[in-house]
Structure 1
Amino acid sequence: MSLISDPWFYLVAVPGVLIVGIGKGGFAGGLGMLAVPLMALTVSPVQAASIMLPILCVMDVTGLKAWISTWNTSLMLRLIPGALIGVLAGYLAFEYVSDAALKLLLGLMAILFTLNHWSKRWRTIKPKKAGNDVVDRIQGAFWAGVSGFTSFLAHAGAPPLMMYLLPKQLDKRLMVGTVTIFFAIVNYVKLVPYAALGLLDATNLGTSLVLAPLAVIGVKLGIWLHDKINPVTFFRLMYLFLFLTGLKLAWDGATALG
């Protein structure tokens, strides 16, 4: 079986996959973008994203079993069309994005997402329930489209999606279920254009297969920890880690472009 043999890759990939699985399983996938930046420290961002996609699909199957009956139907109907357009845009733009530019983009997204979290801006916004007004539908389609685009390029679709969902202050279980179903649909759709671009080759798929058991373990840990761990402590440490990783990637991308 063909796979990556560099031990440094697995040193960052193993904890990255576990953390993403825990986040997807029990905490609405808040750190779903962490694994690709970590892997991108040792391989190209494109290869990191290619390896991670089948792993995310395994996570989605595991998560669906726990959250399939807990999600907001009206929100999903307004989010999915925009997300699919975003995925298509990501596919069309993919060949024009260099490794250096992708590292810079990935690093900046990680930094801005973390700074936004630390500033607690989302918590100061008044709750807004899902409705049928035109403005809310446009906002949902826009943020879902951005989510689909960034998800295609680097599996970093959570930040823009949360910009739309968090102000609604949904019930915790409803939030996790809705996000889980949303990204399950998006990730399985992404398999088609990823295959068309030749990104799911033997080496990437072999490496994904080796890491796949960690995906199941991580998601099940997240489901188990959902009501048992203090999410504030967990995310406080993980966001710090994400911020530092973002700084490293942004520096590498900026210096390569310069």
Structure 2
Amino acid sequence: MMDLAWTGWLLLGIAAVVIGISKTAVPGAGTIAVAIFAAVLPARQSTGVILLLLIVADIFAVVMYRRHANWRALLGLAPAVIVGVVVGTAFLAVADDFWVRRVIGVILLGVVAITLIRRRMPPGIDDERPHRVAAATYGTLGGFTTMVANAAGPVMSMYFLAARFPVKEFLGTAAWFFAIVNIAKVPFSVGLGLITMPGLVIDAILVPLVVGGALTGRWIANRIPQRFFEHLVIVFTIAGALYLLIA
């Protein structure tokens, strides 16, 4: 993993900046970073390398938006997420890279379609507290996709988008959600052999770029209009899903 050409390091550096920005400004963009890491490094091992960088970015996001989280929504998601992580661990133990990417790509496109349909329904159908069925569905899919490919960003972005959270509440709730989930995934990743010493060295080199991206994202978030923010989330989700399907 350390035998990388300069172009490989350049791509990983760009992906590290994207990770920081995705956590503090543009949720869903992180899927691009996941795709880059999977292309430059062995796909399975890349999930362990990127996980620790995501946790670093999560810490910055939590510090920046800790007061804006919707804890009622988070508690409602918890049981389903746990189920999804367990199922994802079992799937990752037996599935190869081809099936991991295709399954997640199909899930993401389905989630986008469902979210867009729900947003076209009369306002009364989407109340302030998302339906329990939606929480169970998105939570399970989020737990599954975050475990097998660190790709739950788009899934949960669609859930928070359907809940019509304002930008800061969206980012604050997402920050706490992923901080808790990603830290909980560490023992599973160690057990599967996804976190290795060479991977830790790569993480140490890329951490400053993640921090720079997170700080840049905070500047962007303070200036981004709500409608443009929502459009970005949807576009990045679709782009990530299509990449996973055709890669």
Q: TM-score range by the shorter chain?
A: 0.7 to 0.9
Candidates 113, 124, 128, aligned match of 2:120: 124
Once residues 168 and 233 of structure 2 are traced to their aligned partners in structure 1, the CA distance between those partners, rounded to angstroms, is: 22
The alpha carbon displacement at 1:12 in A equals 2.0
Deviation larger for 162-171 or 188-197: 162-171
The answer to whether residue 201 in structure 2 is matched with residue 203 in structure 1 is no
Q: Does 1:214 align with 2:209?
A: yes
81, 86, 89: which one pairs with 1:88?
86
- Aligned partner (choices 216, 220, 226) of residue 225 of structure 1: 220
Secondary structure of the structure 2 residue equivalent to 1:34: helix
**Number of aligned residues:** 244
Q: Matched residues in 1 for 2:180 and 2:94: separation?
A: 25
In the other structure, the counterpart of 1:255 is none
Q: Over aligned residue pairs, what C-alpha RMSD do you find? A: 3.0
The alpha carbon displacement at 1:162 in A equals 3.1
TM-score when scaled to structure 1? 0.82
Offset at residue 116 of structure 1 (A): 4.6
Corresponding residue of 1:104: 102
* Structure-2 separation of matches of 1:35 and 1:101: 19
- 1:145 is matched with which residue: 140, 157, 161? 140
Contact 1:85/1:148 (<8 A) preserved:
yes
Confirm or deny that 1:169 pairs with 2:164: yes
**Gaps (5+ residues) in structure 1?**
253-258
Cα distance in 2 for residues equivalent to 1:11 and 1:87: 31
**1:170 to 1:57, Cα distance in 2 relative to 1, 3 A:** same
Name the counterpart of 1:72.
70
TM-score if structure 2 supplies the norm length? 0.85
Q: Is the 8 A contact 2:20 2:212 kept in 1?
A: yes
Which residue in the other structure is 1:10 paired with?
9
Residue 104 of structure 1: CA displacement?
3.0
Match of 1:22 in 2: 21
Letter in 1 for 2:183: Y
Q: Deviations over 1:16-68 (max 9, x none)?
A: 221231121123x2222221112222222212211100000000111111111
> Structure 2: any 5+ residue segments left out of the alignment?
none
